Amino acid sequence: MNEQWHERIAVVGAGVMGSGIATLAIGHGVSVVLVDVDEVALETGRRRIAQQSRHAQLMGALPEGTTPGSLVTTTDLSGVDGASAVIEAVTESPEVKAAVLGEVSGVVGPGVPLVSNTSGIPIGELAGSVPVPRDLVGTHFMNPSYLITMVEVSRGPKTSDVTVDALLDLLATLRRRAVIVRDAPGFVTSRLLHPMINKAANLVGEGIAAAEEVDQLMQGCLGHRTGPLRTGDLIGLDNLVDSLLALHERTGDEACRPCDLLLAKVRDGELGRKTGRGFYRYEEAMF
């Protein structure tokens, strides 16, 4: 492990992605301070991290012989002070992310990498929220991040080489493979995947096929590993809708306008794996 990451990192946002990233870091020997404004969210995050750590061990996803990093949780944003890097993993809203990044940058000061985990909000768009744009860089960890080894990295127009190198070093410590892409709405993965899930949901909504049948065909005929609708459940249908809306607003692509069935499921609280029901039912919400 690089000496830089013997110290702790901070993860802001204790939701599905924040807790997954914290699980990944802790399992690779990196200590984490997890910050969220909601104590209930922190409690849920602590349970998720414990559960996911056991799952990661069972799946052989953690390095043997590595002492796990420590976990500290707090509702006080000043807890990020002293972190070697800060990973922002709050809701996929440009306004919320910009506000959080602005606050964080005022705590840590210049030179500390600010990493926005986003599925498609351009880093150049968020750069105006921080006083030192060269410190800001984007990642798109996949869910569950402790199992999926590839990470999409987006470099903003003002991101410095030093910041990119620091992020790549951290990702190497976490045994993740990074692919750097151009900073643009949706980057690569969301620009391809999210409209496909939207179209699959629309097929179900039109009564052409059931969710299970759509996923079976995509798996068996086209080699999609889990099927688009089960993938949507794992992402979180609310997160998926937010991402589609952001893509539609920025690109004008009608394939990104959320279909009626997706909107109805979000309105009814059927958000996928995390709520126990989405396109499928789940006995236990693991992630």
Tell me how far apart the alpha carbons of residues 138 and 2 are, in angstroms, rounded to a whole number: 21
Q: Name residues whose C-beta falls within 8 Å of residue 182's C-beta, 6 or more positions apart in sequence.
A: 154
CB 174 within 8 A of CB 20: no
Tell me how far apart the alpha carbons of residues 18 and 12 are, in angstroms, rounded to a whole number: 7
Out of 28, 140, 224, 248, which one is annotated catalytic? 140
Residue with tokens 């903003």: 156
Tell me how far apart the alpha carbons of residues 61 and 245 are, in angstroms, rounded to a whole number: 34
Tell me how far apart the alpha carbons of residues 275 and 253 are, in angstroms, rounded to a whole number: 29
Best CA proximity match to 189, nearest among 257, 258, 117: 117
Residue 235: phi and psi, rounded to 5, are -60, -40
Tell me how far apart the alpha carbons of residues 54 and 219 are, in angstroms, rounded to a whole number: 28
Please say if 224 is a catalytic residue: no
Tell me how far apart the alpha carbons of residues 15 and 112 are, in angstroms, rounded to a whole number: 23
Q: Name residues whose C-beta falls within 8 Å of residue 251's C-beta, 6 or more positions apart in sequence.
A: 185, 186
**What are the distances in angstroms from CA 239 to CA 161, 232, 233?**
30, 9, 10
Active-site residues, by number, are 140
